Amino acid sequence: MKPKVLITKRLYPEAIQHLRQFTEIEYNNAEEGFTAEELLKRLADKQGVVSQLTDKFTAEVMDKLPNLKVISNVAVGFDNIDIPGATKRRTLVTNTPEVLTETTADFTFALLMATARRVVEGDAFLRSGQYQEWQIDLLCGYDIHHRTLGLIGLGRIGKAVARRARGFEMIVLYHDAVRLPREVERGLGLEFAPLDTLLAESDFISLHVPLLPETHHLIGAPQLAKMKRTAILINTSRGPVVNEEALARALASGRIAGAGLDVYEHEPTVHTGLLDLKNAVLQPHIASASIDTRTRMCVMAADNMVAALNGRRPPNLVNVELWPQA
C-alpha cells in the first residue's frame, strides 16, 4: 500500500505527477489552503503533508497528528513549523533551499531599484494622465551605483545579492552572526561591519536573515534612528524581522527615505500606515516567484517527500538530528 500524502494547496503539475507515482495523494488543487480545523481533519490518516508557508504546524497541531511522519514545506523558510516540536515527535521536516537563491536575489535588486528610482510612482503618475511635460525634477530618486549596500544576514541569498551589487560598483557591507573567512570576503568584495556601523553607513539596507526569536524586530525604532535620512530598507526575508509600526512611522516622518517590502509582520495584512505612503514599494511575497523557480521548488518538495516515505534520507532535511548523515 502506498503511503498517504496531503497536498494542502496548488502545486506545479510536475510535482503532482511525481508524488502520484509513489504515494496516494489527496490534492487540494486550489489557491486557498485549509482552515486549521480542516487541515487536522484531512491529515488524520496521512503519513505526509506537502505544506506551504500558510500552513501552521505548532506543537499543539502535531500532537493531534500521531501518524504524520513527514512535513515537506515548499519554501526555504520554515518558520510556519515548530522545528523543535517536530523533532521531539520524530516528524521529519524538509525545505527547498538553493533553487530559489538567484531568483530571490534578482527580486531583491528589483525592489531596491524600484524603490530608489520611484518606478511604481512613475507608472501610476503616467497612467493617471499626469505626465504633461518633461521636468528637471520630475520623480527624482536616489542613485544606486557606487552607493553603500548593507546586507544583514549573509547566507546564500545575501551572497547572491552581494554579487549583483558588484555589477553596480557598490560598496557592500555585511553583518552576520558568523563572520566569513577573510579570503571569502575578499572574493565577494565584502566588508564585515558591526550592526550599528552598517546601519549608520549604508544607503541601502537589505535583510536576509531567517525568522528566529533573535531576529524578531531586529529592525525597530532604535535601529531606524541610526540609519541615514536618505536610507532605503529592503525586506525580502520575513515580515516580523521588522517592527512594521516603527517602520511606517519612520517612513511617514522622513526618518528614512524609503522601503521596499515583499513580506509583512502579519501577512497577508499590511500595516495601514504603510498603504498610503508613496515612499514604500509593497509587493505580495513574490521574491521567488518565477515560473522556473516555483516549479523547481515544487519538484524538490515532492522529491523530499518521496525519499522520506521510501526510507531514504530526504535531500533537504531540516531537523538533521533525526537522520544524521552516514
**Rounded-to-integer distance, Cα 245 and Cα 224, Å:** 12
- Compute the least distance from the CB of residue 260 to ligand DGY, in Å: 15
- 199-228 in b/e burial notation, b at 16+ Cβ within 10 A? bebbbbbbbbbebeeebebbbbeebbeebb
**In the complex, which residues of this chain contact ligand DGY (CB under 6 A)?**
75-77, 100, 288
Give the residue with the Cβ less far from ligand DGY, 76 or 250.
Answer: 76
3-state secondary structure of 180: coil
Give the residue with the Cβ less far from ligand DGY, 34 or 78.
Answer: 78
The catalytically annotated residue of 238, 271, 294, 296 is: 238
The catalytically annotated residue of 42, 117, 249, 285 is: 285
- Annotation says 208 is catalytic: no
- Annotation says 267 is catalytic: yes
| Closest to 119 (Cα-Cα) out of 283, 1, 276 | 283
Distance of CA 182 to the CA centre of its chain: 27
- Compute the least distance from the CB of residue 75 to ligand DGY, in Å: 3
- Annotation says 182 is catalytic: no
Give the residue with the Cβ less far from ligand DGY, 144 or 317.
Answer: 317
Task: Let me know: does 8 contact 28? Beta carbons within 8 Å.
Answer: yes
Give the residue with the Cβ less far from ligand DGY, 100 or 242.
Answer: 100
- Compute the least distance from the CB of residue 288 to ligand DGY, in Å: 3
Distance of CA 78 to the CA centre of its chain: 10
**Rounded-to-integer distance, Cα 49 and Cα 86, Å:** 13
- Compute the least distance from the CB of residue 249 to ligand DGY, in Å: 26
Instruction: Give the catalytic positions in this structure.
Output: 238, 267, 285
